Chains A and B, each alone.
Chain A
Amino acid sequence: AQSVTQPDIHITVSEGASLELRCNYSYGATPYLFWYVQSPGQGLQLLLKYFSGDTLVQGIKGFEAEFKRSQSSFNLRKPSVHWSDAAEYFCAVGETQGAQKLVFGQGTRLTINP
């Protein structure tokens, strides 16, 4: 069965510092991978997605992620975080034939120190 692990429950970084959020997945076929962000009291918003092709994908808000098949990873990165990036981040994997049945990781809560 497919699964997603986000090893870090909570990360704190200083504003302007670089960020990397880890995501490891288990999936039998070529995975479809997503990163979503959730601000308090809100639904989830798509940051970026990987289906095929270039393993480095660019998303919104200056985020990028790299798909590494050999490591079963899809880590999210940002060179310089802003206070507005404080939120919860979810990695997801799934199939997209017909409906998107996604499996989400547990989430990583990001706190930004001024």
Chain B
Amino acid sequence: NAGVTQTPKFQVLKTGQSMTLQCAQDMNHNSMYWYRQDPGMGLRLIYYSASEGTTDKGEVPNGYNVSRLNKREFSLRLESAAPSQTSVYFCASSSRGTEPLHFGNGTRLTVT
């Protein structure tokens, strides 16, 4: 029973490098989300996808792009990483409005 799977678990990048964070869910959920977690700031929504084929900006979208590849997968791309993007990134999914979010275990990203 995998739930929400994120890869990689850890990543170190140099400033200016690019990378894609992968997320897959096996619960047949419609909606998927990317959050970042920084100390003292809780979680902040980067992008979300309400349903397959749609994506929308959240609170902190600058410097990121997303792709809803299919119903299961939702990737987050950093085109040119910056030290300010050092954070823990969480992917989540949900079935419909009032159902709770299910979170992955996170990706810890360090940009030097």
- Chain B residues packing against A (C-beta within 8 Å): 4, 31, 33, 35, 40-45, 48-51, 56, 58-59, 90, 92, 94, 97-98, 100-101, 103-106
Q: Does A101 contact B (CB under 8 A)?
A: yes
A interface residues, tally (CB under 8 Å): 26
A 86-112 to B, binary, CB cutoff 8 A, 1 in contact else 0: 000010100011111111111100000
What is the total of A-B residue contacts with beta carbons within 8 Å? 67
A–B complex contacts, Cβ < 8 Å, 14 sampled: A42-B106, A44-B90, A46-B100, A46-B101, A51-B98, A98-B97, A99-B94, A100-B101, A101-B48, A102-B43, A103-B59, A104-B35, A104-B42, A107-B42
Q: How far is the CA of A103 from the CA of B103 in the complex (A)?
A: 15
Kindly list chain A residues whose C-beta atoms are within 8 Å of the C-beta of B48: 99, 101
